[in-house]
Structures are given as structure tokens and as C-alpha cells.
Structure 1
Amino acid sequence: MATPPIRGDCDPGFERVREAFRENFDQRDEIGAAVAVTRDGEPVVDFWTGHADPARTRPWQRDTLVHLYSTTKGLTALCAHRLADQGKLDLDTPVAHVWPEFAQAGKGEIPVRWLLDHRAGLPALRETQPPAQIYDWDAMCGALEAEAPWFPPGEEIAYEAVTFGWLVGEVVRRVSGRTVGHYLRDEIAGPLGADVHNGLGDAEIRRCADIGALPVPDDLATDGEGDPFTTLPLIAFVNPTGTGDHNSEAHRRAEIPAINGHATARGLARIYGALIRGASQDGVTLLSPEAVDRLHVEGSSGTDRTQGIEIRFGPGFMLNPTAPDTEPLYTRSPRCFGHNGAGGSVAFADPDTGLGFAYVCNRLGPHLDTDPRARALIAACEESL
């Protein structure tokens, strides 16, 4: 199928990004996608094209919103960091100080920081939850209050694939009096004019792309004996099983701040671009320079017990690996921070080059690290500097 015309524009010198974006359609089976880049807070790349549904019946528009999966986590973490920067939340205080019910089952001394670093030992819920419970905030928080840690808190990295949203989100709610979706709108996306959301209304739902099925890597699918609900990896990703209902109206309206943010690439790049060197963007300052510097300080690294891969985290953000001969997640800067989403979406900031980058798509890939389509676009950005 012929590649549709590439929409949008770029600054002189960034034409290679347009070429890489086109190659994703020509060579990597892209259906619909968008990529946006800022440099020192100013837009330098903004491209989109393709179709907003796997059947290729709806053209991708400039304002098409895309389901982000775990790229949402970076936005949720940013809410917590803004509260901390304002002196309203101490990341080193026990979660139970702001959320007393969390102290059950031996969790009374777990600090907020360990939730962000994925070291709280709460990657999943052991008891299978009904699908619709994913939309019941109080029920999911109640289940996590009763859950005992899977691992000694602070000793293991266990990626909180879905639980992260309720864990960090309930802290944000207890401290600010607002849900993550409302806090994100009021304090971050709204002031910046960024088209980024968690929990959609009618107007936003009409702009949503439909995304394809998420491939499950073979090593995450079963326990080797065909039982799909006994391995931590699969339990973490699909309990409740409603996590896969991503094109439904109920899913789009809900706030599940680990996995169901929706955004344009332009909106994501604007937020990450506003974090470069603690910059003020059109008079809006999200974090102080000192707070931004803390986002790329390693909080945990090693083998993730949830996914079985080597991983490195700052407080709520993914960081480039430091092991020799490993591919970076983002640009090659050691100070990059961001978050990838299952299927391919990526958003990050690079304080060394001044880049804020975002890529979103609706054909989902199986990769646990950065998708080859995003890698090609990131490489093109580096070539353009």
C-alpha cells in the first residue's frame, strides 16, 4: 500500500526526520503515527499521517489522540514531582503518612519514592480481579491496600505495569485533592496548551485513534505449562483483564494513570520540552531546575522481576542503560529521562541536546525496549543536530 502524504513540517536541518518517518510506513508496516520534537522548548518537528484505525478507513488528523500505554507513567510521575517541588509531598516519607490504609500487610514503612522506582514489591495483585474493576478506583486502591508485597520492599525491581497508576495516583489524590487526570489538566497540560489527557470527555473521544491488538512476547505469555495466570509477568499486565479493552468508551473515559493516557505527539513533546533545564514555557514553569535534575538520578537498576529484562529507573522515569554494548532507549545522552509505552509510543527529554521528543502510533509492536520505528526517528534527530 502506498504511503500517504506526510503532513506537517520541520525546521531546516531536520529533514532527515521526515525521511525516517516515511520509511516507517514504507518498510515497517506503520498504519498511523505522529512524531514531534522540540529543541530548547521550541517546536522543530511536527509530522503525522496514515490512518486512525487498523482497517484504514479514517485518516489520521493533526489532532488525533492516541492511547499511550505506559508512556502515561511519565505523566503520572510528573504530577508527583510537581507536588514535591512545591513542598506538598516528601518522596521519602512513608506512603502511609498520606494514605493510612496503605500500611496494611507490612507496607507501613514503604516510602513514596519506592513506588516511583518500582521497588515497593507491588507489581501485581495475586487475586484475579473482575474485568470491570479496572474502572473502579476505590476497589483497586482497596485491593492494593490489602496486598502484601511480593518481594521485600526496597530490595528488588518489580515493574508496576498497571499498579503504578493506582499507587502513585492515590498519593497524588490524597495530597492534592485531585485525581491524576484532573491534576494533569489543571497543573501541567492545561497551562501549557498540551493536548494530553488521562480520562476523556466526549470531544476527546471523537478524536481517538483505534489501536490494534497488543502482541504478547512468548516469554511473558504462559508459565511453560500453558497456564496464563500463574506467572508474575502476565498477572502484572492483565489483572484485571480489562486492561486490554483499550478502544472502548469506558476505557477512554476512565483514569488508569499507568496505562491509558491519550495524547498527540505534539502535546507530549511540549510537556517534555518544557522540562529541559527547568525552562519556563510561555511563562509556565512545571518544575524548578533542581527538581528536573533529580528526574535522571538513578533510583533502581538491574533485572526487573516482572519482565525479566535489565532496566534502569529514575524516580518514575526510564533511563538509558549504562552497561557496555547496550543500545540506549533514547538519544545517547546519559541524562535522558522519559517513558516508553507497550506497542511503541515513546516520550523523553534530553537535557544535554535540549530535545523534547514524542512518537505515537496505532500499530502496536511486541518490543519490551524502544520500538524500531521510534529508534529510527530518534537516530534521525541525532543526525540532525
Structure 2
Amino acid sequence: MAVKAPYASLSCSFIGVGCPSYIPIHGFVDDGYKEVYNLFLNNFKRGDDMGAAISAYVNGRQVLSLQGGWKDKKNEIEYTKETLQMSSIIVAQLVEQGLLAYEERIATYWPEFSQGNKENVTLEDLMRHRSGMACLDHPLSYENASNPDKLADILARQPHNFGGKAVHAYHGITQGWIQNEIIRRVDPENRTIDNFARTFKEKWGSEWYLKPDVTKGLDLKRISPFYSRSIYQQILPFLKALLDPRQDSSITLDLFRKNSFVMRAFRNPHMDQYLGVMNTNVTHRSVEGPSYSGHTNADSIAKLASILANRGKSIVPGEPDLFIKDTTFDIVSQYIDDYETDIVLPLVPFVNLKGGWMLFPNQHFFKVSDQERSAEFIGGMGAGGSLFAFNEKYQIGFGYVTNGYYGTSGIDERSIAILSVRAPFASFPCTLFGIGCISNIPIHGYVDDDYKEVYDIFLNNFKQGLDVGASVSAYVDGRKVISLQGGWQDIEEKVEYTNKSLQMVFSTTKILGVVVIAQLVEQGLLSYDEKISTYWPEFAQGNKENVTLCELMRHKSGVASLDKPLSFQDAYDPDVLAEILAKQPHNFGGKPIRAYHSFTQGWYQNEIIRRVDPQRRTIDSIVREFKDKWGSEWYLKPEATEGLDLKRIAPFYRESLIRRLVSLASILINPWRDTAFFWSIFDKTSLLYGSAIHANLDQERGLSNTNKTHRTVEAPAYSGYTNTDSMAKLGAILANRGKSMVPGEPDLFLKDSTFEELTKFISEEADVILPELVFVNLRGGLRLLRNKDNFKLPESENIDFLGGVGSGGSVLAFNEEYKLAFAYNTNSFYSHAMPDDRSSLILGSIVKQVKKKAREAELIKSS
């Protein structure tokens, strides 16, 4: 908690005592953006920020300007709009004037630069961090950096880092100095970037100071100090990287190797190799460092960003244009190449445009639902959390600055929280500004009058950006009361999500194995208490001779993890797969221990079933009959299913990479959180690795079974494709103890005792693979979905369910007492294995109404 809330006291983070009762907030926010105020304030309440400011323009008008927290916490000086915190623009202006050209070699302007294999380096190479000048071979002193001629000589003599080859290597410190030397050589007045930037205040009211301590007339009391995280919080990630044998620690170690590339890129150019946050040394602030030394505020950033969103044209009558020619903006923002892996910062997705601006690709940053490149934001981000972003299409200019220094390479959870983390599938402009939101969300199906509230909640999931495409169905007392489908099956192709759409439901598929095996137990072909080796003698190998069918159903059979990677070819051939499964030793030497069989359970069930079934059928063969019998469609290997229209299959949409990384980081750096589970995914000998990686066909990256070839393999533990009408229908029959609800349809179970056997409670154990999740599997494998552990509905709506839950958000739940069956499906994949608010809020509304009707019925009966 302390790491997640680096500026809250330990007592506040841990027990809620001693939290700040007063957080100063200054500025204004238009009525249409009030939610931003709450998100901004929440950053301080959570202890994520000490002092910060945010500003935004929409269509050339400033819609918010907020400053909060403290500039100087010790002296209780509040953070206001007078607190202070560009070179691509100035270079673009000089290109516009014909003094520079992006395609020209730097040596044309600066002949001495051609030394050391740099003769062919162009200005564009420099702007896009491909000039081979990211690192310096020798440490730079303050004396050398403060003398422009000495600094120019050092830079000119520095050999190309890659022998002349254009390689993307982030010029964290050096880029601005090289730009400065070029600019002062071509500018008739020999000005530098700071001289140009200082004129921005009079022209556009945008303040920028690159060497504040020698800037005449500047009140230095306006400069806010930085607040770093505690030493412990800073050291923790380094210790993890160094001590964990499963993590690549080479980048961390390189910070301590004098001749490493990282050391030469970040330490050698750092004046006097000063320890601490760069440029906080008062003496060093007298040196102009255009790559890093800018002091400004959020209003100034947003104003400049808004002009750029307007293609460099003025947004205020009487103010000059930033760019004179219409073509300048097009040239500067020209897209050159896709994401290139950076040598210095390999985990940051850099896409630099022709003029040096950074493109924020949708999939990595703000997840703009509009898939056109014109909807992506452009700008820059700074170490510690500052953000400069603009978008021409939506006419948005945005600025964020903070004195709470995290030491990250740019955007973190503070600005993400404000921008769009609450709406992972809504665009940034929609979430923050209400612009570009989807106005016409297609909703199909129907809902009974008693459950109208469900329609509003379901629709709101799309409005909030929580879902792209989804469906929900419910039965009460054997009657379908809800069948809704909304959003898009394929948003790029504008294919709407309907009752014909098929969605993979991951582990919710396991309920099919439960049902089919219960039917075979009923027929006397199987017994829960019988050893699996009775049906499958080869299974007895590797200490598995005493494993029972019940243990397999309850994830206690010791075959959750595979010792060797499974290939597509292995899994495609049932006989080859059976041999591999039989030879796999018991994970715990024969001892029944609860370990979630995420992939393997269905394959073991299938082999048992085809050995006892007179027709040697598998689960897929049996459940394919469910469509004719009960109108319930299930396909476990859709690409190999004859007659199935594959266009019905909905692709998945995931949260952006940056959101997933922020979520992951919040787990990894939390000292109160047991992260052993996560780290074990990198240990090839761990149970988690064997169950989640080895058992995943060809060790597929991304979401399992989204590879079309893999969809020809039957995997009853996760590969089910269906829709919520089919799921809810099956759930409704189970809620009726396996008896048919429709005249003429057969019963699912013939004997009354089958449901009793299936739902017997045996025990509850912690899972050794997924220790943070609460699993309770009944005798026949059904999950007991306790409200307190799963849906977390309020006490008035508190009932428990049986059923199954799948990764990403799918749910099939039923309750016998109220004869209630509920199903939820989505193509918007959240990286978790539990129900979330999208489905839980809908289920809560249904339960509330069902209980209300039950009370009314009881009153009528009693009267």
C-alpha cells in the first residue's frame, strides 16, 4: 500500500488513520468536466501526488485548469497556477523559414559534427532519436556543459554509438544540446532554444524557462521542489530485478557498469554525475538543457498543445500563428515507421514522427475507440509523470505536471486515472472531455417490464466504455425474462453484437464437462468415487493410480501442471495427447492437493469419456446435441465444425498495454502483496508455468485459443464458444434440478438423485496455483459462487449461486431456490478470473427484483 500511495503516511495507507483532511484545490473546471475534478482530487486522497496541475483546451477554449496539493509540503505552501515545472516546435519554425531541412545532414550546418562516423546523420535522425548520440563515452562536467563552445566540441568529437548505423536509442539528455548547437549556427541572431521559448510568454501566454536560475526577473520561489518516493520504495524494484533469478536484470546491472550503454546514456551526460533528480541542483539550473530542463506549468503546456491541435494556427484573435505555412504541421507530424524497439528503454513503445514528436499509439496508451490514426494523440512525456498531448481530430490540448516524482519514463497511473483508466474501452477524448463518444449504441433483444432497470445498466456499460460488445440473458421460474445484446461484435467492421454472435467463454466451458460426466454417472458408466485408472489403466503411471474422478472434477487430481510444453500437433491427435497425459507424473507425488486445472481438466475428462461412452464420443460431440434438444449452442472446436458460420465468432478486445502494465506494476511494487504468484510465471519449473504456459498450445502468446489453427482442437476446459441465451437456458434447467422446463423437451438428468450427487458440498481448500482466488468445487465439479467471494452484492441482494466463471468476464450462474439462471458474455477482455462490475451490477438488479416478487408472493400466500 505504501508503494502504491507514495505520498500518504504509512498509517493512512494501511489503516486509514492520519490521512489529510484538507487538500487545497485551486482553479476552475467547466460544468461538463466535473468528473475530472473528482479524479484529480482522488490522486491526492490516495497519496499518489504531493502537488500537481492539469489543464485542457477543447476546440480552442480552456475547459479546465486545476492545481492541487502542495508546492512545498514542509512549509505548507500550496500548489497553485504560479508553480512552474520544446525544441521540436522551434526546429519546425526554422525548417519553415528555410534555415533547416529535416533531410539535410547535420554536418552541413556544423562541419565538425562529421567526426566519428557521423557524417551522414541527418536532422531527422536526431529528431527521431536515431542519430547515434544517445550516450557519451566520457562523463560530462558542469564546467564543460556550462560553456557552449566546450560542449559543442565534446559533442562533435563523440563517435557515433553504432558506427554510423541509424538505430533508435533514446537521447534522454543529449538531443537538446545537439539541437541547440545546430540552431545557434543557423539563426541570424545566434539564439538558442531558451531564447526562442522565452518569447512564447508574450506571444501566447505560455511560460517556458530552460535555465531558470540565470533568467532575469524570474521569481525563483515559484519553482516547486520535487518529492521522490522513499528510499525503500525506490530501491525495491532494483532489488527485485537483481535478486530474482527469473527476471532479466541486465538493464539494472548496466546502471552500475561504467562502460554499459545505459550508464553512458544516463550517467555520463548527467552533469558531474549528480545523484538525485536531474537539474534540482541550483547550480545546474543555470545550464540550458533543452531535452530535460524545461520549467513550466500545465496551463502553458495545454495552451501550446491546443495551438498544435489547431495545426499551429492561433486560437485567440490577435495572437500570431505558431506555424505560418499550412504544410509545416503536415511535415512535422509525418508518420515514418511503426514502433521501433529502443536500445536504451526497450520497454517503452516509442513512435517518433518526422519532426520528433511522439505518437501515442492507441493500443499502448489511451485506447481511443476510433481506430483511425487521426484519433491518436501526439506530444511528449517526461520522467516523473508530466504529459503534453494534443489531437487535431478532436481539437484537444492537454497538460499535466506534478512534483511527485516516481522515476518512471513517462505516463503513470496518476494521469491514466484522470484520462481513461475507468473506461478501458472508451476513447481518451470521450472519457475526459465528452467528445467523440459513441452516440448510437446498438441494443438488440428484449427485457420484461419487471426488469427494465437491467436495460439501463447494460446500456451504461457501453456508455462508460466498459464494454465493446456484450450480451446478457436470464431465466426466472423457467421463463426467459432478459435477452439483450449490445455494442459491436467487430467494431472495426461495424458488425453489431446480436444473439447470433458467438463468444469464447474460457473456463465457463468447464460446466459442460460437469454436466456430461453427471449424465454418464447417472447411466452407471462412471462413478465419482472410482479411480480413473479403472477406466484408463495407463493413467496409473507417475503416482496417479489412486486418483479418483471426483478429485479430477474438484481440481485435486495432481495433473494441473505439465512438465513439458504441449504442441498443437500433440493436442490435435487424441491418441498422442492421451499418452502425454497418462505419462505426466502426479504434481504432488500422489497427494490430493487443490491446484486449479485451467487447461488440463477437460482433456483428462475427454479421454475418460471416450473410453466409457459406447460411441467413443467426446464432450464436444455430446454437447453439440444440446442445440437440437434444448436450443443451447456450444462449439468446442469451431474451426473444425462443419456448417458453422465462422463470421459469427466475435474477436476479443483488450485493455491497452499501458493500462495492463500500470495494473501489473501496482501489484509488483506493493510490499503488502504476495507477488510470488506472479514471479512464478517466469520460473519454468513452477506449477503456474506448467499449468499456464506448458499446457497452452505452442505456448501461444496473448489470449488462449484466439489462434484460428488452435480452434480446431477440442479443449473442454476453456475452448467453448456460445452465447448467453444458450448459457442461460442450460443454467435454467440446472436451476430446475436438471428437469425440462419446456413441454416436449427431454430432461437433462433422468434421476432426481443425479442433481443431489452433483451438488454435494465436500470441503473448501486454498488453491496452490491461484491462492488469491476463492474456489469451492462441489462433488461433481460445479463451482459454489458465494456472493461474498464473487459478486459482492449488497446484503439485500445476497444469495449464493452455482455455476462457472471464465477469464475476461463471462459468467453462468444459477440458483435453485429462486429458479434463477443468469449468463453474461463479453468480447472486452479484462485480465482477471472473477466476475466484475459489468455483470455483478446487472445480476444485483435481477436478484433485487426476484426477491421483491418472492416477498410479494409470500404476502399474498399468507393473506
Aligned to 1:191: 203
Matching residue's letter, 1:358? G
SS in 1 for 2:253: coil
Match status 1:382 vs 2:393: no
SS in 2 for 1:284: coil
Q: 1:334 to 1:141 in 2, by over 3 A?
A: farther
Match status 1:45 vs 2:64: yes
SS in 1 for 2:351: strand
Aligned to 1:65: 84
Q: 1:119 to 1:299 in 2, by over 3 A?
A: farther
Q: TM-score, structure 1 length as denominator?
A: 0.89
CA–CA distance in 2 between the matches of 1:121 and 1:133? Answer: 21
Q: 1:273 aligns with which of 306, 315, 322?
A: 306
CA–CA distance in 1 between the matches of 2:46 and 2:165? Answer: 43
Equivalent pairs, count:
374
Contact persistence 1:338–1:349 (CA under 8 A):
yes
Contact persistence 1:35–1:266 (CA under 8 A):
yes
Q: 2:333 aligns with which of 292, 296, 302?
A: 296
Contact persistence 2:314–2:322 (CA under 8 A):
yes
Q: 2:193 aligns with which of 154, 177, 180?
A: 180
SS in 2 for 1:280: coil
Matching residue's letter, 1:382? C
Q: TM-score, structure 2 length as denominator?
A: 0.41
Deviation at 1:26, TM superposition (A): 1.3
SS in 2 for 1:149: coil
Match status 1:345 vs 2:345: no
Deviation at 1:98, TM superposition (A): 1.1
Aligned to 2:357: 317
Deviation at 1:22, TM superposition (A): 0.6
Match status 1:123 vs 2:157: no
Matching residue's letter, 1:308? P
CA–CA distance in 1 between the matches of 2:73 and 2:90? Answer: 33
SS in 2 for 1:281: coil
Aligned to 2:411: 370
Deviation at 1:157, TM superposition (A): 0.4
CA–CA distance in 1 between the matches of 2:368 and 2:387? Answer: 9
Match status 1:205 vs 2:241: no
Aligned to 1:236: 265
Deviation at 1:135, TM superposition (A): 2.9
Match status 1:327 vs 2:376: no
SS in 2 for 1:36: strand
Q: 1:111 aligns with which of 111, 122, 134?
A: 122
SS in 2 for 1:291: helix
- Higher relative CO (CA 8 A, sep ≥ 6), structure 1 or 2? 1
Contact persistence 1:222–1:230 (CA under 8 A):
no
SS in 2 for 1:168: helix
Match status 1:23 vs 2:42: yes
Contact persistence 2:208–2:296 (CA under 8 A):
yes
Aligned to 2:102: 91
Aligned to 1:69: none
Q: 1:162 aligns with which of 161, 169, 173?
A: 173
CA–CA distance in 1 between the matches of 2:281 and 2:253? Answer: 32
Deviation at 1:353, TM superposition (A): 0.9
Contact persistence 1:221–1:234 (CA under 8 A):
no
Of 21-30 and 354-363, more deviation after overlay is shown by 21-30
Match status 1:82 vs 2:93: yes
Aligned to 1:307: 345
Provide Cα deviations, 1:150-178, integer angstroms capped at 9, x if missing partner. 12545310110100111112112212220
Deviation at 1:249, TM superposition (A): 2.6
Q: 1:154 to 1:352 in 2, by over 3 A?
A: farther
CA–CA distance in 2 between the matches of 1:173 and 1:79? Answer: 12
Q: 1:2 to 1:230 in 2, by over 3 A?
A: farther
CA–CA distance in 2 between the matches of 1:258 and 1:366? Answer: 16
Q: 1:3 to 1:291 in 2, by over 3 A?
A: farther
Contact persistence 2:41–2:68 (CA under 8 A):
no
Contact persistence 2:57–2:63 (CA under 8 A):
yes
CA–CA distance in 2 between the matches of 1:36 and 1:9? Answer: 10
Deviation at 1:227, TM superposition (A): 2.8
Aligned to 2:322: 286
Provide Cα deviations, 1:296-333, integer angstroms capped at 9, x if missing partner. 323453100111223211121111236xx533499976
Q: 1:355 aligns with which of 396, 399, 404?
A: 396
Contact persistence 1:157–1:305 (CA under 8 A):
yes
CA–CA distance in 2 between the matches of 1:364 and 1:54? Answer: 14
Match status 1:34 vs 2:53: yes
Of 50-59 and 191-200, more deviation after overlay is shown by 50-59
SS in 2 for 1:21: helix
Q: Find the structure with the greater CA-based Rg.
A: 2
Deviation at 1:189, TM superposition (A): 3.9
Aligned to 1:258: 291
CA–CA distance in 2 between the matches of 1:49 and 1:165? Answer: 31
SS in 1 for 2:78: coil
Contact persistence 1:33–1:49 (CA under 8 A):
yes
Q: 1:147 aligns with which of 152, 155, 158?
A: 158
CA–CA distance in 1 between the matches of 2:51 and 2:376? Answer: 30
Q: 1:136 to 1:153 in 2, by over 3 A?
A: same
Contact persistence 1:36–1:46 (CA under 8 A):
yes
Provide Cα deviations, 1:126-156, integer angstroms capped at 9, x if missing partner. 1122354333333222211001111254531
Provide Cα deviations, 1:181-213, integer angstroms capped at 9, x if missing partner. 001123x34311212222222524221001134
Deviation at 1:259, TM superposition (A): 0.5
CA–CA distance in 1 between the matches of 2:396 and 2:69? Answer: 25
Contact persistence 1:272–1:356 (CA under 8 A):
yes
SS in 2 for 1:181: helix
CA–CA distance in 1 between the matches of 2:286 and 2:204? Answer: 22
CA–CA distance in 1 between the matches of 2:227 and 2:152? Answer: 29
SS in 1 for 2:116: helix
Aligned to 1:71: none
SS in 1 for 2:168: coil
**Aligned CA-pair RMSD:** 2.6
Provide Cα deviations, 1:202-238, integer angstroms capped at 9, x if missing partner. 5242210011348586469966388343332232122
Aligned to 1:11: 30
SS in 2 for 1:275: helix
Provide Cα deviations, 1:256-276, integer angstroms capped at 9, x if missing partner. 100000001101111111112
Matching residue's letter, 2:99? K
Deviation at 1:58, TM superposition (A): 2.0
Contact persistence 2:254–2:262 (CA under 8 A):
no
Q: 1:204 to 1:378 in 2, by over 3 A?
A: farther
CA–CA distance in 1 between the matches of 2:129 and 2:360? Answer: 16
